[in-house]
Chain A
Amino acid sequence: KAGVTQTPRYLIKTRGQQVTLSCSPISGHRSVSWYQQTPGQGLQFLFEYFSETQRNKGNFPGRFSGRQFSNSRSEMNVSTLELGDSALYLCASSWRTGTATNEKLFFGSGTQLSVL
């Protein structure tokens, strides 16, 4: 069974540009969550999508947005990039059984974004 696939693996952008990252979840998983990982802040939750609807949102500015398609694939977009957006962006999929005790996240390998 294929795991969570994120593309691209590496991305270099300059300040002010925008970027779109893609995530294909494990087949059958309907929930996709996005996290930003930096050495200083660790993993910080961006947002979660379930059945094409945003269910939860973290404390990030509106420059960060996402969406989910009918096949559960998800994209996140960052507009007007800033130097501080340099990070590893991780996508995770899950069955989303509806109870926190049963939640298991399966992570992709991430997209390493560098903003110059």
Chain B
Amino acid sequence: TQLLEQSPQFLSIQEGENLTVYCNSSSVFSSLQWYRQEPGEGPVLLVTVVTGGEVKKLKRLTFQFGDARKDSSLHITAAQPGDTGLYLCAGGGPTTYSGNTPLVFGKGTRLSVIA
């Protein structure tokens, strides 16, 4: 069974600070996605990384996929209260004869940015 461990579980920081959250596994994934979920809503896809070592930037957010495709990190620069939410990573498995294997989600990092 593929598992994704996210750390830290909870993070509370002041506006303007930088932070990094991690997503680790002993398994290799074909792709890694990051979602943000706000209270009362479903997760919203932020980014997909597919190549080992890949780095993607989305404004103040920087996503990195590990060289071995087993881990990923999300770095936020100058965090703002609007960044508050639950950050989830999800790993994509191999494509089988029946199509995609389901995404495996980590339990998430709950981020609170205080103004």
A11 within 8 A of B: no
Q: Which residues in B have their C-beta under 8 angstroms from that of A42?
A: 88, 105-108
Chain A nearest Cβ from B53, distance in angstroms: 15
CA distance A56 to B103 in the complex (A): 11
Q: Which interface class (under 10, 10 to 19, 20 to 34, 35 or more) fits A?
A: 20 to 34
Chain A nearest Cβ from B93, distance in angstroms: 6
A75 within 8 A of B: no
Name 18 A/B residue pairs within 8 A (Cβ), A-sorted. A42-B106, A43-B105, A56-B99, A58-B102, A92-B42, A96-B99, A96-B100, A99-B100, A100-B30, A100-B100, A101-B31, A104-B33, A104-B48, A105-B33, A106-B45, A107-B42, A107-B44, A110-B42
Question: Which residues in B have some Cβ–Cβ distance to A below 8 Å?
Answer: 30-31, 33, 35, 40-45, 48, 50, 88, 90, 92-95, 98-108
Question: Which residues in A have some Cβ–Cβ distance to B below 8 Å?
Answer: 4, 33, 35, 41-45, 48, 50, 55-56, 58, 90, 92, 96, 98-101, 103-110
